[in-house]
Amino acid sequence: MSMVTIRNLTRTFDVSKPWLNRVLERLPKQTLTAVSDVTFEIEEKTVYALVGESGSGKSTIGKILVGLLPPSNGAVEVEGVDLAHETDKAVLSDLRSNIQMIFQDPYASLNPRWRVKDIIVEPVRARGGKVERLAEKLLEQVGLSALDADKFPHQFSGGQRQRICVARALASEPRLIVCDEPTSALDVSVQAQVLNLMSDLKENLGLTYLFISHDLTVVRHMADRIGVLYLGQLVEEASPDTLFETPKHPYTQMLLAAAPKLDQFGREEEPPQGEIPDPINPPPGCVFNPRCPLAADRCRSERPVLRRVGETRVACHMVEG
Amino acid sequence: MTEPVLSVRDLVVEIPTRHGVLRPVDGVSYDLAPGEILGVVGESGAGKSMTGNAVIGLLDRPAHIASGEILLNGRRIDNLPLREMRKIRGREIGMVFQDPLTSLNPLIPIGEQLSETIETHLGVSKAEARKRALASLEEVGIPAAAERLDSYPHEFSGGMRQRVVIALALCAEPSLVIADEPTTALDVSVQAQIIALLKRLCRDHGTSVILVTHDMGVIAEAADRVAVMYAGQLVEIGPVRDVLTHPKHPYTDGLVGSMPANSHGQARLRQIPGAMPRLNALPEGCPFNPRCPVADATCRAAPRPALTEGAACWHPIGEHA
């Protein structure tokens, strides 16, 4: 059974000028569609990764899943409960403690005035749970010392801080953790330590991850299933090996070709052209058409739907099958 | 051998503090040939940026060059008075920083910023400077360059801004460009464009580049040689292919091995245990010895190993194999 089901999820933001400016300058209201009609499922005890460049909507989906943002349209179901429409507070509260989040910046996500033990037990204390010896136990679980519980965040390095964030996320014994770029701020050797820790915890505690990242090599290493986002739309979804060996969508192909590789010394390849278009005025039809080498008339008028081609799900008119 | 463009000899940068003198750069030496791209890698705090800043004389007080020499085209520049150094900056050494917004003045159109630089350094007329500014914008691939001369930095996207910064760095035709994490703030596809641009321009103009980055993939694709720094010291230097495929120093080996791209489908990544030591608590002997898998009594005793035959290590990998 899938743990998370996201169906036709759409999220728009109002980016209009202030009311007075709109009236005086006769400007229309403007909306930015950060996530547009995204559908996917996350199986229990697996890692689902979302990749994409900035502005692709990957963090917005993560925030909607943990409840930091409400969806504009569509459904987010976790263990059969619809997060946006469930009205029973007890059910929601129960579910919320089952979902935790790890953020990108371990410097900004820890309160500098709190002791580490208070930071870690906060998710439990807020719900009136028992916190005795909890921080010490969790610190040891993430590879720090129980003696660190009385220290302050500034006494730790970036990698150690990210371990504290992991410990805090584990405090309420969640089943699903949303990891938003958990290692982007870390050096590669420290990144390896944190990724290994996350894999171990997943095995030992039976966790499910939604892993958000822009780094394709990290995603390939961690994920069981990968969704590629472009301008708020899911353009391709497949298992890591299938995606990396036979990418179907032209955007995925471009992304894989552009990623720097360790074994291609002095590569002289024509880099991809163009940049992500303005999300306030996305191009009509397929959003990738202005940069796509295969774009035909149909791509400029009709948005492709996500359909199954073999083991992959892909949204492109030009893919055969 | 041709005369090196830049020659750094036993460079030591010191920061006096109340608790003693710190050495963020400790005895770094290298030569840079004309047209060569030297990649500098290392974890945060390894001294990569500090070395670059020392070369162009932009060390923030109280950091200062304590000993050593820096020669640019055979002329010593580390002890020049401020006024002389300002003539060299921009004219003979160009800079590209990580964040393009901090290198551009938000209140001045980019055409004016470019022509001002050209006018100051090359002593040409206003009209001629504007003509050259336009040519350099076209060269870095700004579409409709003539119309965009009067645009302000905020009207450009991140990738386009970084192109403007590169135009600015190269417009006075310097013999050396220091690029400090030039693509870290950019998306993968734009990063590929910027790296290709930097490579092409430097080849066309015969400019040498010091490319400071923590991204090994970027180094592999762009650099001719790579220098690996650890705790303020150069631990390995050599042609990029040799260093990345057959590293001699255990630190380089660990760094390359901990990259997810090199995990070869294994569940766990190789990791370097621990973290880089703080500058005020450097261990005796080789600074890497507490984390090193092959460290023995020699490594733990002073003096630290010297950089010979490419690696600063008592037991380089592949010596006795």
Residues B266-287: pLDDT tens digits?
Answer: 778 888 888 888 888 888 888 8
Q: B39: pLDDT confidence band, cut at 50, 70 and 90?
A: very high
Is B159 an 8 Å CB contact of chain A?
yes
Q: What is the mean pLDDT of residues A160-182?
A: 93
- Cβ contact A207:A175 at 8 Å: yes
The three-state secondary structure class of B39 is strand
- Say yes or no for a CB contact (<8 Å) between B189 and A158: no
Domain coordinates in residue numbering, chain A? 2-98+174-260+272-314
pLDDT surpasses 80 at B7: yes
Tokens of A279: 């999300």
Q: Which residues of B touch A258 (CB under 8 A)?
A: 188-189, 191-192
Residues of B in contact with A187 (CB under 8 A): 43-44, 214
Stated length of chain A: 321
Contact B125/A at CB under 8 A: no
Q: Cα-flanking dihedrals φ and ψ of residue B237, to 5°?
A: -145, 140
pLDDT tens-digit readout, A39-59: 999 999 999 999 988 888 999
End-to-end CA distance of chain A: 28
Residues of B in contact with A222 (CB under 8 A): 260
Pick the residue of B48, B214, B269 with the most A CBs within 10 A to test the interface with A by mutation: B269
Extract the tokens encoding B131: 């003509």
* Bridge partners, residue B28, by sequence: B11
pLDDT value for A240: 93
Task: State the nearest Cα–Cα gap between B99 and chain A, in angstroms.
Answer: 15
SS3 A230: strand
Interchain contact A271–B (C-beta under 8 A): yes
Report how far residue B128's alpha carbon sits from residue A118's, in angstroms, rounded to the nearest whole number: 64
What percentage of chain A exceeds 70 in pLDDT? 98
Nearest to A217 among B191, B260, B271 (CB): B260
Q: What is the pLDDT of residue B10?
A: 92
| Contact yes or no for B218 and A260 at CB 8 A | yes
pLDDT tens digits, one per residue of B91-116: 899 999 888 888 899 999 999 999 99
Q: With an 8 Å Cβ cutoff, is A195 touching chain B? A: yes
* CATH code assigned to A2-98+174-260+272-314: 3.40.50.300
A259/B contact by beta carbon, under 8 A: yes
Between CA A83 and CA A81 the distance in angstroms is 6
Question: CA A33, A255, B37 angle in degrees (round to 5)?
Answer: 125
Question: Among A184, A187, A199, A242, which would you mutate to test the B interface (most chain B Cβ atoms within 10 Å of its Cβ)?
Answer: A187
Which chain A residues contact residue B259 at CB under 8 A?
188, 192, 217, 262
Nearest-Cα distance to chain B for A7, in Å, is 28
Task: Using a CB–CB cutoff of 8 Å, tell me whether A187 touches chain B.
Answer: yes
In the stretch 41-100 of chain A, residues with CB closer than 8 A to chain B read 53-54
- pLDDT range class, residue A278, cuts 50, 70, 90: confident
> B242 touching A, CB under 8 A?
no
Give residue-wise pLDDT tens across range A85-98.
888 888 888 888 89
Is some CB atom of chain A closer than 8 A to the CB atom of B155? no
What pLDDT, on a 0 to 100 scale, did the predictor assign at position A265?
74
Among the partner-chain residues B192, B220, B271, the one whose CB lies closest to the CB of A189 is B271
Residue A11, pLDDT above cutoff 50: yes
pLDDT higher at B266 or A220: A220
pLDDT at position B319, please? 62
* B271·A267 Cβ contact <8 A: no
Residues of A in contact with B269 (CB under 8 A): 192, 195-196, 221
The candidate with the shortest Cα–Cα distance to B292, out of B247, B260, B250, B252, is: B250
Q: Does A191 touch chain B (CB under 8 A)?
A: yes
Residue B277 or B249, more confident? B249
Flag whether pLDDT at A104 surpasses 90: no
**Nearest Cβ partner for B188 among A157, A220, A259:** A259
pLDDT for position B321: 44
Strands A73-78 and A81-82: antiparallel
Q: Which of A195, A222, A264 sits opposite B220 (nearest CB)?
A: A264
Cβ(A301)–Cβ(A229) below 8 Å: no
Measure in Å the smallest separation between the Cα of B271 and chain A Cα atoms: 5
Task: Tell me the chain A residues in contact with residue B222 when contact means C-beta distances shorter than 8 Å.
Answer: 266
The separation between the first and the last C-alpha atoms of chain B, rounded to the nearest angstrom, is 32
User: Which tens digits make up the pLDDT trace of B58-74?
Assistant: 888 889 999 999 999 98
ipTM above 0.95? no
Residue B239, classed as helix, strand or coil, is strand
Q: What is the mean pLDDT of residues B158-178?
A: 90
Confirm if A223 and A47 have CB atoms less than 8 A apart. yes
Question: What residues in A contact B254, CB-CB < 8 Å?
Answer: 189
In this structure, the dihedral spanned by the alpha carbons of residues A143, A145, A151 and A157, taken in order and rounded to 10 degrees, is -40
- Which one of A196, A221, A262 has the shortest CB-CB distance to B217? A262
Determine the pLDDT at residue B1. 55
- Closest CA–CA distance from residue B36 to any residue of chain A (Å): 12
Residues ≥6 apart with Cβ < 8 Å to A212:
A49, A50, A58, A59, A61, A62, A178, A179, A180, A181
Task: List the single residue in B221, B224, B256 with the smallest CB-CB distance to A260.
Answer: B221
User: Cβ of A196 and B258 within 8 Å?
Assistant: no
Tell me, what's the pLDDT at A61?
94
Distances (CA, A) of A180 to A59, A60, A214, B61, B183: 7, 10, 10, 37, 21
**Is pLDDT at B145 greater than 60 in this prediction?**
yes
Beta-bridge partners for B234: B229
b/e map B67-98, b = 16+ CB within 10 Å = ebebbbeeeebbebeeeebeebbbbbbbbbbb
Q: How far apart are CA B275 and CA B251, in angstroms?
A: 12
**A23, pLDDT greater than 50:** yes
The pair of three-digit structure tokens given for residue A25, joined into one six-digit string: 């300058």
The mean pLDDT of chain B is: 88
Of the candidates A126, A145, A127, the residue with the CA atom closest to the CA atom of residue A135: A145
Q: pTM above 0.90?
A: no
Q: Measured between alpha carbons, how far is A88 from A234 in angstroms, rounded to an integer?
A: 31
Q: How far is B128 from chain A (nearest CA, A)?
A: 31
- CB-closest option in A189, A217, A263 to B43: A189
Nearest to B192 among A217, A271, A276 (CB): A271
B240 vs A265, A273, A275: nearest CB? A265
Q: Would the CB atoms of A255 and B224 count as touching at under 8 Å?
A: no
Of A272 and A230, the one with more pLDDT: A230
For A187, the closest of B189, B191, B214 (CB atoms) is B214
